[in-house]
Chain A
Amino acid sequence: MPPDTPARRLLAEVDELLGHASRGTAGLWPRAAALLTRQALEVALATYWSKAAPGVEGCSRKAQLLCLGRYLGDEAVAQRAHVVWSAPSHACHHHVYDLAPTREELQAWRDAVGEVVARTERAWG
């Protein structure tokens, strides 16, 4: 049974937005999902740093991601974390020509974040 962490709760919300087309979230769900996905990653990272290397969470996101690989001992996950942070981030900012992400893109990001979350949670010990 996966632990009920804030990060996972956020991902569960994303799953809801993606998997369940409710009327009340019509139109806004892509950006909402992107926001939540990125926040899930941020929360997971913050929790990890607070446990593994307190203080790092105050550094820039770039620095955090650079360190993550070393600390986790897993460069691949860190890479994925980087990708999956910048893409939703992009969606969370207003860019002149871009439209909101598609469900498929959001799903991919969510899955990648889920991986990072699981990995960092495992590392807590």
Chain B
Amino acid sequence: MKPAAAAPAPAATAEPPGAFVGAVTVQGFRGVGPATTLPLHAGPGLTLVVGRNGSGKSSFADGLELLLTGDNLRWKGRPLPWKLGWRNLHQADTTALSAELVVEGLGPLTATRTWAAGAELAASTAEVKAKGRAALPFDALPWAQPLVTFRPFLSYNELASMLDEGPSKLYDALATVLGLDEFVAVQQRLTAARKVIDEQVKAVKAGAAALALEAERVGAAHAEPRAVQLAAKLKAKTWHLADLQTLAEGGSDVTREVLDTLRRLSALAPPSLDAVQAAVTALGAAAEALEHMKGTDTARSLARMRLLDQAVAFYDQHVAGHAADAGTAGASAPSGCPVCGSQGVFGAEWRQASGLEVVALKAEAFHAQLVETSAAKALSDAHRLLREAAPLPSPTAGELPSLRALREAEAHWLAGRTLQDPTALAAHLERHAVEVIEATMRVAGEAAAELARREDVWRPLAERLGQWLPQATRVAAAKAHVDALKQAEAWWKEATEAIRDERFAPIAERAIAIWRQLRLQSNVDLGSVGLEGTATKRRVTLAVTVDGAPAEALGVMSQGELHSLALSLFLPRATLPDSPFRFICVDDPVQSMDPARVEGLARVLHDTAKTRQVIVFSHDDRLPEAVRRLGLPARILRVTRRANSLVEVQEARDPVSGHLDDARAVMKTDDLRADVKARVVPGFCRLALEAACVTVIRTRRLRAGASHDDLDALLAEHVKLYPLMALALFDDAVRVGDVLARLKKLADRGPEVFKACNAGAHESFDGDLDGLVYDTERLATAVLKGTK
């Protein structure tokens, strides 16, 4: 089963309209008092903003970040004093930040953020305004998320801490740009769905275990077969829910038998005592009557009766009628007996007497018949009672003990079937009736009790089973689901990781490329960068080797290398095409770099500046020096802070031109007295010459392959102008004596200018200052050129 709806593709891969930063103006914020502008050019290129710590340069970096984000990561989580010092000491009432932003396709916008006097840091008003339109709140720009994801502000401290914060934090920081949120969301949903089912399965299993335990206990304690069965079925590896259902409803055949037996037994009806009593009485009466009858010879009487009856009938038919016919009145002479022929008996007298006798005999016979019939009835009634004893189940092992007794009693009882004698039968009945009745009732009672007990024992289990079964059935249905979900999860995870790796690959490549440029002589190499793992195990893998042997990145790298590494990882992120920011603001990347690495950095920044606006803040001149020496195009802005937090921003040219410009500015200004000018101008001129010499020396030696350290040592050793010039002209600090001669060839008044500059730095120059400056420039230019 695949997920029903695949996650939609990430939002447009085309680059969103990009924003460049024009002039940034800061007022009353941190080191900057009166409003000061950093004149940036809104377009690709490298700008270096240079100033000592405390000069106010960081105020511009922080100010730009605060302006755009409404927050400053540097201060987040810092103690209160940090946050309290955000306003400028000399100008605490009005704090305002503004920047010109040039957005491709939209044109220039001005963004401002202002604070009222006394307002908290968080209580600012931010607006953005296009020319000729009304101002909008700053949030109208859809930059809140991109500012976090692409973070165009790279600061030294932040980058260094990135690597310390833990593998998953680093992972998150790099992965946010990959647009994987939706993938992760789907993954989470799949996992959640599966977990829900897992929970249900667990619950059902737990329920089954508990129920089985209980059933087992009950089954063992009460010998209740249903409970035992239940326990067995629940303990089985797979549950047959149909069987369990049957069990819940009444149990299997085996148990049904037992229960039916019990039911039958409980329904046993003993012979009614009244009936027995009646039978006994009837039998007694019958026996008595029969006893009476014993004295009479019933058969003979019966036969005699029949005979007489027939004789009477004969007489009536054949004799009496005949006599009548004869018409003899009177005493007809009795005819002869039809049987024996004896005369004189078979007459009317005899008839009368015999008639009476027949009647009497008939009555007797009738009575006898009656007695016999009732005796037979009594017997059959009694036998019926005997027969009515209920059939008992065949003996089984676990049967009720009273059942055995009943069996015996019935055996006795039934033995009476063979008896025909009423008296004996009555006695038998009397003797055994009570026994049977009692035994039957005992059995019935016991059976009923047993049934009830079993029910009591079983009912709770049955109820629980009844509750558990529907859950189990649902879960059984869902289980099939789980397998599908697991498959989906695994597949989705793989797919997500593949896409993640794919999207991360270009970033990783760039990171490695940048690292290669930065590492220079370091023997630490970065082979690959990858994102690995999910959930709590996510991390960034850095395949670092030291002299070819694999090593743990964070363990082998120096501070400077770690910083370079962080820069390598986050510079690509900040310059992704998806970012709406076409600028990056790098704060003090040079801090712990040695001069060789500074060159690498200069090149990296230069490469980035081909398509992006790169603004770098630095507290010394190392980066500008490298940039100049390598001939990389860059704009250099110098920031200095004077009294009352007045910050000056000046575009710096190369040092030679810079010093000469200063000299000329001194000449021009009205703010210095003439004698002061005479003291100061030569000093600047000397600076210019020194700069020219140093430039020449460095360029020559570095091109020849000297190390930065050796070079720096050399220049630290020779500070004075003469040795410097010797080095510049002859590459030999010893040839100081030849300097002036050479200078003569290089430029007009070369030696004079040289000497004047050298001396004038210490004392007042009483010549033509303008001329000095002019001549210095020519000499410096000649020195610079002369060695190309």
The yes or no verdict on A and B being binding partners is yes
Task: Show the binding face of A for B, using Cβ within 8 Å.
Answer: 10, 13, 18-32, 35-36, 39, 42, 92-104
If A94-B655, A96-B621, A96-B625 touch, whether A35 touches B683 (CB-CB below 8 Å) is: yes
Chain B neighbourhood of A30, CB < 8 A: 640
Contact of B680 (CB < 8 Å), options: A18, A26, A35, A98: A35
Contact A36 B51, beta carbon cutoff 8 Å: no
The 7 lowest CB-CB distance pairs between A and B, nearest first, are A24-B669, A94-B690, A24-B671, A21-B642, A28-B662, A35-B683, A21-B646
Contact B672 A99, beta carbon cutoff 8 Å: no
Contact B687 A31, beta carbon cutoff 8 Å: yes
Residue of A nearest to B690 (CB): A94
Chain A neighbourhood of B690, CB < 8 A: 93-94
Bound together, the chains give a CA A89 to CA B671 distance in angstroms of 24
Chain A neighbourhood of B665, CB < 8 A: 24-28
Proximity string of chain B (623-663) to chain A, C-beta cutoff 8 Å, 1 when within and 0 when not: 00100000000000010111110101010000100010010
Residue of B nearest to A28 (CB): B662
Contact B642 A36, beta carbon cutoff 8 Å: no
Bound together, the chains give a CA A57 to CA B227 distance in angstroms of 119
Smallest CB–CB gap between A53 and chain B, Å?
Answer: 20
Bound together, the chains give a CA A112 to CA B673 distance in angstroms of 24
Contact B687 A36, beta carbon cutoff 8 Å: no
Contact B715 A96, beta carbon cutoff 8 Å: yes
Bound together, the chains give a CA A29 to CA B694 distance in angstroms of 23
Chain A neighbourhood of B430, CB < 8 A: none
Question: With an 8 A cutoff between CB atoms, is B171 at the interface?
Answer: no
Smallest CB–CB gap between B247 and chain A, Å?
Answer: 90
Contact of A94 (CB < 8 Å), options: B52, B640, B687, B763: B687
Chain A neighbourhood of B641, CB < 8 A: 102-103
Residue of B nearest to A27 (CB): B650
Smallest CB–CB gap between A43 and chain B, Å?
Answer: 9
Chain B neighbourhood of A101, CB < 8 A: 52
Smallest CB–CB gap between A44 and chain B, Å?
Answer: 13
Chain B neighbourhood of A10, CB < 8 A: 676, 679
Given A28-B662, A28-B684, A96-B715, 19 more contacts at CB 8 Å? A13-B672, A21-B642, A21-B646, A24-B670, A25-B665, A25-B666, A29-B640, A31-B687, A32-B672, A32-B683, A42-B763, A94-B687, A94-B694, A96-B698, A97-B620, A97-B622, A99-B621, A100-B52, A102-B640
Chain B neighbourhood of A99, CB < 8 A: 50-52, 619-621, 638
Chain A neighbourhood of B670, CB < 8 A: 24
Chain B neighbourhood of A100, CB < 8 A: 52, 640
Bound together, the chains give a CA A104 to CA B640 distance in angstroms of 11
Bound together, the chains give a CA A42 to CA B762 distance in angstroms of 8
Contact B672 A24, beta carbon cutoff 8 Å: yes
Chain A neighbourhood of B712, CB < 8 A: 96
Bound together, the chains give a CA A19 to CA B644 distance in angstroms of 8
If A28-B662, A29-B642, A39-B762 touch, whether A96 touches B694 (CB-CB below 8 Å) is: yes
Contact A18 B643, beta carbon cutoff 8 Å: yes
Contact A20 B643, beta carbon cutoff 8 Å: yes
Residue of B nearest to A22 (CB): B671
Question: With an 8 A cutoff between CB atoms, is B668 at the interface?
Answer: yes
CB neighbors of A among B753-779 (8 A): 761-763
Contact A39 B671, beta carbon cutoff 8 Å: no
Smallest CB–CB gap between A100 and chain B, Å?
Answer: 7
Bound together, the chains give a CA A93 to CA B761 distance in angstroms of 10
Question: With an 8 A cutoff between CB atoms, is B27 at the interface?
Answer: no
Question: With an 8 A cutoff between CB atoms, is B54 at the interface?
Answer: yes
Contact B625 A35, beta carbon cutoff 8 Å: no
Bound together, the chains give a CA A22 to CA B665 distance in angstroms of 12
Question: With an 8 A cutoff between CB atoms, is B691 at the interface?
Answer: yes
Question: With an 8 A cutoff between CB atoms, is B719 at the interface?
Answer: yes
Bound together, the chains give a CA A39 to CA B686 distance in angstroms of 15
Question: With an 8 A cutoff between CB atoms, is B55 at the interface?
Answer: yes
Contact B673 A13, beta carbon cutoff 8 Å: yes
Chain A neighbourhood of B676, CB < 8 A: 10, 13, 36
Residue of B nearest to A29 (CB): B642
Q: List 5 A-B contacts (CB under 8 A).
A: A39-B679, A96-B698, A99-B50, A99-B620, A102-B54
Chain A neighbourhood of B622, CB < 8 A: 96-97
Contact B640 A27, beta carbon cutoff 8 Å: yes
Smallest CB–CB gap between B667 and chain A, Å?
Answer: 11
Bound together, the chains give a CA A124 to CA B164 distance in angstroms of 62
Contact B669 A25, beta carbon cutoff 8 Å: yes
Chain B neighbourhood of A92, CB < 8 A: 683, 686-687, 761
Residue of A nearest to B688 (CB): A94
Chain A neighbourhood of B646, CB < 8 A: 21
Contact A32 B625, beta carbon cutoff 8 Å: no
Smallest CB–CB gap between B681 and chain A, Å?
Answer: 9
Contact B679 A26, beta carbon cutoff 8 Å: no
Smallest CB–CB gap between B447 and chain A, Å?
Answer: 110
Contact B672 A102, beta carbon cutoff 8 Å: no
Residue of A nearest to B697 (CB): A96
Contact B643 A27, beta carbon cutoff 8 Å: no
Smallest CB–CB gap between B308 and chain A, Å?
Answer: 172
Contact of B761 (CB < 8 Å), options: A18, A27, A35, A97: A35
Bound together, the chains give a CA A102 to CA B562 distance in angstroms of 30
Bound together, the chains give a CA A31 to CA B638 distance in angstroms of 14
Contact A32 B666, beta carbon cutoff 8 Å: yes
Bound together, the chains give a CA A104 to CA B645 distance in angstroms of 12
If A92-B683, A93-B687 touch, whether A26 touches B50 (CB-CB below 8 Å) is: no
Contact B643 A21, beta carbon cutoff 8 Å: yes
- Name the residue among A93, A100, A103 with the largest chain B CB count within 10 angstroms: A93
- Name the residue among A20, A21, A24, A103 with the largest chain B CB count within 10 angstroms: A21
